[in-house]
Structure 1
Amino acid sequence: MAGKTKSKPSANGKPTVKNDIWETVVVLFQALLIALVFRSLLFQPFSIPTASLQSNLLIGDYILTSKYTYGYSKYSFSPFEFLPINGRIFGRAPEQGEIAVFRPVPQNVDYVKRVVGLPGDTIQMKNGVLNINGTAVKKERVGTKIDTDSYGTSIPVILYRETLPNGASYIVQEISDNQALDNTAEYVVPDGHFFMMGDNRDRSADSRVLRSVGYVPLENFIGKAEVRFFSIKDNINPWQIWRWPGNVRLERMFQSVYQ
C-alpha cells in the first residue's frame, strides 16, 4: 500500500529497524564536509561589522568572497591556516578597484577594503584626493548624505565618484578634505604587496595606517568580494528571525558588490 514502509528482516526472520541515529550522523557529516570544501575552496561568507566601506558595503551586509580568483594560500584555506603553504598557488593577483578580504600582517582578524595600489606604486593623499604615481585620481562630487557608524554616531558626509587609472569607478564619502588621513606622506608599495583603502575615507583604518594595517602581502589575501547575499540593519544577528520584519534590507540582497 502506498505510503507504508517495511522493516528489513534479519537472518532469523525477525524484522529489524534501521539505525536512524547512525544515518542521521552520516548525513550530517556529509553535509558538513561539503560545506567545509565549499568554504575553503570556493566561496566564504563574511559579515560587514564596520562603516569603512560605506556607502558601498553597509554595516550588516553579508558578502560571499571567491577563493579561487586570487588562488590559495594558508590564509585563504581557513580554517586550515596551520597548513605549511608558502606564497600562493593558482589564481591571479588582485586588481585596482576590487574589494578584497585579507589578513593584515600585524593582525589576527580579517579586514575588507578596496585595492587602490599595486606593487611598485606610489600612493599619497593630498587634501583628500588620492594620488597614484604622482597623478591625482579623478574625483567628482555627486551628492551628500548622513553616515552612521557602528557606534551609532551620525554625521553629514560628501559623496564623490572616484575613477582609478584602470577605469574602475565607485563612490567614496568624506567628512571633509582636512581630516587626519587626508594629507599623508608618500607610500611606496613594496614588491609583492598591495595598498588597501576604505571607501568611507575618514572612517577607515587602512593601509594609510602602517602600524595597524600597512602594505598587504599577496599571500595574505583571502578572497575577492563578489556578491551581497543578505543584509540587515543595525548589525542584528541573522538568526534572530523574529527581528527580520522591518530590518532586513531586501533591496540589497543578491547583488554584485560592484554595482
Structure 2
Amino acid sequence: MSKRAKAAGGGLLELIKTLVYALVLAGIIRTLLFQPFWIPSGSMKDTLLIGDFLFVNKFAYGYSAMSCPSYKSFNLCGAFEDKEGRLLGSMPERGDVVVFRHPATGEDYIKRLIGLPGDTVETRGGRVILNGEPVPQDPAGSFTETYLAQGPMGSFPRCLRDGPVGLGGECSKEKFTETLPGGKSYSVLNIDDTPADDKGPFTVPEGHFFFMGDNRDNSVDSRFSPAANGVGFVPYRNLIGRADRIIFSSAGASILYFWTWRGDRFFKAVN
C-alpha cells in the first residue's frame, strides 16, 4: 500500500473518530445538561410563542429515566422506565415553566407549574383558586398578534371571543398579570368563556404536580384527565427540565425564512 493510500485511510479513520466523539459529546450534553425544544403550539402565549426555540435546563430537577432523549415511543433509557426516584433530584418551584413527559402518550409538553403535592386547585370564572384562595389577577391590557398561519404546522391564532378577523388583521386577547403565592408573576390570556373556566377542585397527590398553560382557553393541561385527552396530574419522575431562556424565535413555517425571525426574542429570559 502506498504512503498516499495509508494517509488517506488514516485521515478517514480520524474523521470517523471525530464524528463519533462529537455525537457522544452531543448525547451527553442532551441527556445531562440541556435539551433543545421548539414551541409547537400557542398554549403558553404570550410567555412562549409558536416558533420559539429554547434549551431546557435538565439539571434543575435532577435526573430520572425520562431525562434520556426520546422519539415518540422510543426512549434511550427505556430499560429503566419502571425505576422510581431521581438522581440529584430537587423540587421545582411554583410558577416554573417546565418541560415534562406526558403520563399517557410519552410526548414532551411545556406548561407552567401551578399546584404542588397536597395543593387543592380549581378554576372558577377563569380564575385559579389555590388552596381555597383566589390567585390575584390584574388587568394588563391586551395581547395582539397578526392573524396569519404560524409555525411549521400553519395553525392560526384564536381571537377574542372568535370575533371576525381577516387574514393579516389584528387578533387580540385579554391579558392579565397573575401572581402566585411566593410572588411569581406572569401574563395569562383570556379568549372566551369555556368549560375549562370552571373545573375542579383537584387535590394534587403526593409525588405529582398540576400544570396549566398561560393561554388558558387554548391549553390542554392538568384540568383535563388523560382519558379526556388531557394531561392530568404529572408524576415527579416525568419532569424533564426547566425552561430558562429563549435562544431563537421564528414565526414562519421554516427557520430559513429570515424575514419571519423575531429579533426581540433572541436570548430572552422565560418568566
TM-score of the alignment, normalized to the shorter chain, above 0.5: yes
**Structural RMSD (CA):** 1.8
2:183 matches 1:163: no
- Which residue identity is paired with 1:50? S
CA gap 1:153/1:256 in 2 versus in 1, 3 angstroms: closer
CA gap 1:27/1:191 in 2 versus in 1, 3 angstroms: same
| TM-superposition CA deviations, 1:238-258 (whole Å, max 9, x none) | 3xx3x21x1111210112112
Task: Give, in whole Å, the separation in 2 of the partners of 1:83 and 1:46.
Answer: 24
Alignment of 1:68-147 (within 5 A): 68-79=59-70, 80-84=76-80, 85-146=83-144
Q: Which residue of 2 aligns with 1:174?
A: 190
- Which residue identity is paired with 2:93? E
Q: Which residue of 2 aligns with 1:255?
A: 268
Q: Which residue of 1 aligns with 2:7?
A: 17
> What secondary structure is seen at the aligned counterpart in 2 of 1:44?
strand
Identity over aligned residues, as a percent? 37
Shift of 1:16: 5.0
2:237 matches 1:237: no
Task: Give, in whole Å, the separation in 1 of the partners of 2:133 and 2:99.
Answer: 27
Kept after mapping to 2: 8 A contact 1:180/1:202:
no
Alignment of 1:27-38 (within 5 A): 27-38=18-29
> What secondary structure is seen at the aligned counterpart in 2 of 1:17?
helix
CA gap 1:15/1:209 in 2 versus in 1, 3 angstroms: closer
Kept after mapping to 2: 8 A contact 1:226/1:257:
yes
Gaps of 5+ in 2: 71-75, 161-172
- Which residue identity is paired with 1:109? E
- Which residue identity is paired with 1:250? G
Larger radius of gyration: 1
Which region of structure 1 is more displaced relative to structure 2, 26-35 or 145-154?
A: 145-154
Q: 2:234 aligns with which of 176, 194, 216?
A: 216
Q: 2:156 aligns with which of 142, 152, 156?
A: 152
Shift of 1:62: 0.6
Task: Give, in whole Å, the separation in 2 of the partners of 1:223 and 1:67.
Answer: 4
Gaps of 5+ in 1: 1-8
Kept after mapping to 1: 8 A contact 2:245/2:270:
yes
Kept after mapping to 2: 8 A contact 1:146/1:154:
no
Q: Which residue of 1 aligns with 2:206?
A: 191
Task: Give, in whole Å, the separation in 2 of the partners of 1:66 and 1:153.
Answer: 28
Runs of 4+ residues over 4 Å off in structure 1: 147-150
Aligned length: 241
Q: Which residue of 2 aligns with 1:54?
A: 45
2:58 matches 1:67: yes
Task: Give, in whole Å, the separation in 2 of the partners of 1:154 and 1:119.
Answer: 33
- Which residue identity is paired with 1:132? L
Q: Which residue of 1 aligns with 2:170?
A: none
